[in-house]
């Protein structure tokens, strides 16, 4: 069994113990409209300018302000297969159906039904304990996660935790540099094509059951779609464009589904080549968000 397959199997094995303790608890989310065909709502009265959209997109991305032209944004390379743990089967099936519909609409490669999940969504009574156990059992994989993200995963306060397993793939001209040396984009024939692509091999989205009470399956499925398909961080809700990433913000007006901004971000991320620079993709979010808004109006949503 490969390291990644073992890690995914370990999630299920650990989750059995967590889910047994919550068997008598009612499902936390509300089963509202899991198969709603709509995907975008904006929630802001005025469409912001391109610079505002770029800054918002950069703000949710885990890339430094001086790295946008020299790194690529992580995304799934293989076909995506969503799976859900910790909900009664009817709710889990509804969430998977919604996530698969999102992936299909976003033109992201989708695995056939019956596949082995590589985007796992789990509802746990104690997400921190679940992630701590995984980090203990798979320390080498946990060490691949950046220090700030490790702190997020083990935070006592976080209502949701996302562990993205990211692998580097050489995409540059010629042979890769010797181990320990960092490739430079300045040595490439096309300086918008990064020498390294960062592939999300698998992702785990863990919701604390107590934190999702009153939320709909649509909201949770769309939040998991956004966080699972990209290497992003939660948003505060103060951004110029509404985003599902503010779902756990304390403010009012939480989005009910993926927004035009979210759709624009994910479409830009997956439309261009996987090794296109972060700047190239972030600058294109406004165009894709506008396209998503037009599609929403045409569909009457």
- pLDDT of 179 over the 80 cut: no
CA-closest candidate to residue 217, choices 243, 250, 247? 247
Task: For the chain, report the end-to-end CA distance as a whole number of angstroms.
Answer: 46
Looking at residue 31, its pLDDT comes to: 58
Q: For the residues 14-40, what does the mean pLDDT come to? A: 49
Q: What percent of the chain has pLDDT over 70?
A: 77
- pLDDT of 199 over the 90 cut: yes
Tell me the pLDDT band of 110, cut-offs 50, 70 and 90: very high
Looking at residue 297, its pLDDT comes to: 81
Condensed to tens digits (0 to 9), the pLDDT of residues 32-83 reads 654 555 555 554 545 677 789 999 999 999 998 789 988 999 999 999 999 9
How does strand 196-208 pair with strand 160-170?
A: antiparallel
- pLDDT of 25 over the 50 cut: no
Condensed to tens digits (0 to 9), the pLDDT of residues 207-250 reads 999 999 999 999 999 999 999 999 999 998 788 899 999 999 87
Tell me the pLDDT band of 21, cut-offs 50, 70 and 90: very low
* Whether the Cβ atoms of residue 52 and residue 264 lie closer than 8 Å to each other: no
Token couple for 23: 């068997």
Average pLDDT, the chain: 84
Token couple for 287: 């165009």
Radius of gyration of the chain (CA): 19
pTM for the whole thing? 0.88
Tell me the pLDDT band of 278, cut-offs 50, 70 and 90: very high
Looking at residue 48, its pLDDT comes to: 75
Q: Who wins on pLDDT, 157 or 186?
A: 157
Looking at residue 32, its pLDDT comes to: 60
Token couple for 6: 């073992």
Q: For the residues 159-177, what does the mean pLDDT come to? A: 85
Tell me the pLDDT band of 15, cut-offs 50, 70 and 90: low
- Which three-class secondary structure state does DSSP give residue 265? helix
State CA 20 to chain mean position distance: 27
């Amino acid at each position: 069994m490969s390291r990644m397959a073992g890690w995914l199997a370990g999630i299920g094995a650990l989750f059995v113990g967590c889910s047994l303790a919550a068997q008598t608890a009612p499902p936390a989310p509300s089963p509202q409209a899991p198969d709603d065909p709509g995907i975008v709502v904006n929630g802001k009265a005025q469409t912001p300018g391109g610079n505002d959209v770029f800054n918002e997109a950069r703000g949710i991305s885990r890339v430094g302000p001086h790295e946008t032209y020299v790194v690529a944004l992580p995304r799934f390379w293989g076909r995506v297969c969503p799976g859900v743990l910790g909900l009664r089967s009817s709710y889990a099936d509804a969430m998977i159906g919604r996530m698969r519909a999102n992936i299909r609409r976003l033109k992201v490669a989708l695995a056939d039904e019956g596949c082995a999940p590589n985007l796992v969504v789990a509802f746990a009574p104690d997400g921190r304990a679940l992630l701590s156990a995984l980090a203990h059992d798979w320390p080498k994989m946990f060490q691949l996660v950046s220090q700030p993200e490790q702190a997020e995963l083990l935070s006592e306060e976080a209502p949701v935790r996302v562990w993205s397993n990211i692998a580097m793939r050489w995409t540059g001209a010629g042979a890769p540099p010797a181990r320990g040396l960092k490739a430079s984009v300045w040595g490439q024939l096309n300086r918008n094509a990064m020498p390294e692509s960062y592939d999300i091999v698998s992702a785990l989205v863990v919701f604390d059951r107590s934190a999702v009470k009153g939320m709909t399956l649509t909201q949770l499925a769309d939040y998991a779609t956004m966080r699972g398909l990209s290497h992003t961080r939660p948003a505060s809700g103060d951004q110029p464009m509404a985003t599902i990433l503010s779902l756990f913000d304390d403010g009012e007006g939480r989005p009910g589904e993926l927004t035009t901004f979210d759709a624009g971000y994910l479409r830009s991320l997956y439309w261009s080549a996987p090794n296109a620079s972060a700047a190239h993709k972030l600058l294109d979010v406004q165009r894709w968000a506008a396209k998503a808004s037009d599609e929403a109006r045409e569909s009457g949503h």
